[in-house]
Structure 1
Amino acid sequence: MADDTVSASSNMDMEDRVSHLEQRLQLQEDEIQLLKAALADALRRLGYCEEHNQGMQPGGSHAGRRPLATTGSAAPTKVRQLLQALPSRPLSNGYVQQKRLLSSPSSPKKEVLQSIKRKSMSTEQLTLVRREMAAESRSRTTSSSSSSGGKSKSKECTLNAEDGYVRMFLRGRPVTMHIPDQQRESYSIDQKVALPDHKLKLQWVYGYRGRDCRSNLYLLPTGEIVYFNASVVVLYNTEEQQQRHYLGHNDDVKCLSVHPDMVTIATGQVAGNSKDGKLLAPHVRVWDSVSLNTLHVLGMGVFDRAVTCVAFSKSNGGTFLCAVDDANDHILSVWNWQKEKQLADVKCSNDSVLAAVFHPMDTNLIVTCGKSHINFWTMEGNTLTKRQGLFEKHEKPKYVLCVAFAENGDAITGDSSGNIYIWAKGGNRISQVVSGAHEGGIFSVCVLKDGTMVSGGGKDRKVVLWDHDYRKQSEMEVGDSFGPVRALAEGKPGELFIGTTKNAIIRAAFPDTLTPIVQGHTDELWGLDIHPSMEQFVTCSQDKQVHLWDTNSHQPLWSKTIEDPGRSAGFHPSGAVLAVGTMTGRWLVLDTDTRDLVSMHTDGNEIISNVKYSPDGNFLAVASHDNFVYIYAVTENGRKYSRVGKCTGHSSFVTHLDWSKDSKYLVTNSGDYEILFWEASNGKHVTNMDTVRNLEWSTSTCTLAFNTFGIWPDGADGTDINAVCRSHDGSLLASADDFGKVHLFSFPCSQPRAPSLEYGGHSSHVTNVAFLHDNSHLISTGGKDTSILQWVVA
Structure 2
Amino acid sequence: LPSVSCLNTLERLSFVICLHTKDLLLHQPRYGYRGWDTRKNLWVVKNGELLYFVATIAVLYDRTDDHQRHYTGHTEDIQCMSLHPNAVLVASGQRASQGHRLTANVQVWDSRTLRTLHVLGEGELGVGILALDFSTRNNGDYLLAVDADREHLLSVWAWTKGGIFGRVATHQDHVWGAAFHPLDNNLIVTHGRGLLSVWSRRKDGIFTRTDLFKDLLPRNILSIAYTRHGDLITGDTDGLITVWSVDADGEYFIRKQFKGHDGGVSTLYLLSEGTLLSGGDKDRRVAAWDCDEDFDPILETQLPEASGGVRSVTPQRPGMNDANIYVGTIKNMILEGSLQRRFNQVVFGHSRQLWGLTINPRDGSVATAGYDKQIVCWMHNRLMWRIQAQSECVSITIHPSGSVLAVGTIDGHLVIVRADSGKHVATVRVCGSPLSCLAYHKSGDTLAVGSQNGSLYLYKSTREGLVYTRFSKMKGEQPLSAIDWSESGKFLQTVTSDYDLTFWSLRTLSSVSDDADVQDELWVTQTCPLGYYVHGIWAGRKDSPIQVTVDRNPKGDLLAAGDTRGNVRLYRYPVLSPRAGYHQYKVYTSYVSSVRFSMADRLLYTTGGTDAALIRWRVPLM
TM-score normalized by the length of structure 2: 0.89
Partner of 1:349: 171
- AA at the equivalent of 1:635: T
State the SS of the aligned residue for 1:350.
Answer: coil
2:592 to 762, 766, 769: 766
Alpha-carbon shift at residue 499 of structure 1 (Å): 0.8
Partner of 1:517: 346
Q: Greater RCO between the two (CA within 8 Å, min separation 6)?
A: 1
Partner of 1:441: 264
- AA at the equivalent of 2:260: A
| Pairing 1:562–2:389 present | yes
Given that residues 443 and 487 in structure 1 are in contact (C-alpha distance below 8 angstroms), is that contact kept between their aligned partners in structure 2? yes
Given that residues 585 and 604 in structure 1 are in contact (C-alpha distance below 8 angstroms), is that contact kept between their aligned partners in structure 2? yes
Indicate how the Cα distance of structure 1 residues 585 and 280 shifts in structure 2: closer, same or farther if over 3 A, else same: farther
Given that residues 76 and 586 in structure 2 are in contact (C-alpha distance below 8 angstroms), is that contact kept between their aligned partners in structure 1? no
Given that residues 779 and 789 in structure 1 are in contact (C-alpha distance below 8 angstroms), is that contact kept between their aligned partners in structure 2? yes
In the alignment of these two chains, the number of paired residues is 594
2:97 to 241, 251, 272: 272
- AA at the equivalent of 1:202: L
Partner of 2:478: 652
Separation (CA, whole Å) in 1 of partners of 2:593 and 2:111 = 30
Separation (CA, whole Å) in 1 of partners of 2:329 and 2:70 = 21
Given that residues 390 and 428 in structure 1 are in contact (C-alpha distance below 8 angstroms), is that contact kept between their aligned partners in structure 2? no
Partner of 1:50: none
Indicate how the Cα distance of structure 1 residues 386 and 685 shifts in structure 2: closer, same or farther if over 3 A, else same: closer
2:279 to 453, 456, 463: 456
State the SS of the aligned residue for 1:367.
Answer: strand
**Equivalences for 1:733-752 in 2 at 5 Å?**
733-752=559-578
Partner of 1:251: 76
- AA at the equivalent of 1:660: S
Partner of 1:676: 502
- AA at the equivalent of 2:263: G
- AA at the equivalent of 1:720: I
Alpha-carbon shift at residue 511 of structure 1 (Å): 1.1
2:331 to 495, 502, 524: 502
Separation (CA, whole Å) in 2 of partners of 1:383 and 1:415 = 29
Indicate how the Cα distance of structure 1 residues 743 and 351 shifts in structure 2: closer, same or farther if over 3 A, else same: same
Separation (CA, whole Å) in 1 of partners of 2:506 and 2:256 = 70
Separation (CA, whole Å) in 2 of partners of 1:652 and 1:509 = 52
- Cα distance per residue 1:299-334 (max 9 Å; x no partner): 223222321111011111211111112222222221
* Larger gyration radius, structure 1 or structure 2: 1
Where in structure 1 are there 5+ consecutive unaligned residues? 1-192
Given that residues 534 and 773 in structure 1 are in contact (C-alpha distance below 8 angstroms), is that contact kept between their aligned partners in structure 2? no
State the SS of the aligned residue for 1:438.
Answer: coil
Separation (CA, whole Å) in 2 of partners of 1:774 and 1:360 = 54
Alpha-carbon shift at residue 212 of structure 1 (Å): 1.6
Partner of 1:203: 11
Indicate how the Cα distance of structure 1 residues 753 and 587 shifts in structure 2: closer, same or farther if over 3 A, else same: farther
- Which deviates the most, 651-660 or 356-365? 651-660
Given that residues 235 and 245 in structure 1 are in contact (C-alpha distance below 8 angstroms), is that contact kept between their aligned partners in structure 2? yes
Separation (CA, whole Å) in 2 of partners of 1:458 and 1:669 = 41
- AA at the equivalent of 1:585: G
1:531 to 338, 343, 360: 360
| Pairing 1:605–2:432 present | yes
1:291 to 113, 122, 127: 113
Partner of 2:21: none
Given that residues 764 and 784 in structure 1 are in contact (C-alpha distance below 8 angstroms), is that contact kept between their aligned partners in structure 2? yes
2:242 to 416, 421, 427: 421
Structure having the higher helix fraction is 1
Indicate how the Cα distance of structure 1 residues 278 and 351 shifts in structure 2: closer, same or farther if over 3 A, else same: closer
Given that residues 397 and 416 in structure 1 are in contact (C-alpha distance below 8 angstroms), is that contact kept between their aligned partners in structure 2? no
- AA at the equivalent of 1:385: T
Indicate how the Cα distance of structure 1 residues 203 and 637 shifts in structure 2: closer, same or farther if over 3 A, else same: closer
- Cα distance per residue 1:584-628 (max 9 Å; x no partner): 333322233443443333444333221111111101111122222
Where in structure 2 are there 5+ consecutive unaligned residues? 18-30
Structure having the higher strand fraction is 2
| Pairing 1:219–2:44 present | yes
TM-score normalized by the length of structure 1: 0.71
- AA at the equivalent of 2:601: N
| Pairing 1:706–2:528 present | no
State the SS of the aligned residue for 1:707.
Answer: helix
State the SS of the aligned residue for 2:536.
Answer: helix
State the SS of the aligned residue for 1:424.
Answer: strand
State the SS of the aligned residue for 1:414.
Answer: strand
State the SS of the aligned residue for 1:708.
Answer: helix
| Pairing 1:411–2:247 present | no
Alpha-carbon shift at residue 529 of structure 1 (Å): 1.1
Partner of 2:131: 309
Separation (CA, whole Å) in 1 of partners of 2:122 and 2:5 = 36
Alpha-carbon shift at residue 713 of structure 1 (Å): 2.5
Indicate how the Cα distance of structure 1 residues 681 and 519 shifts in structure 2: closer, same or farther if over 3 A, else same: farther
2:462 to 596, 613, 635: 635
Separation (CA, whole Å) in 1 of partners of 2:482 and 2:126 = 38
- Cα distance per residue 1:384-413 (max 9 Å; x no partner): 112222697xx8563121111222222222
| Pairing 1:583–2:421 present | no
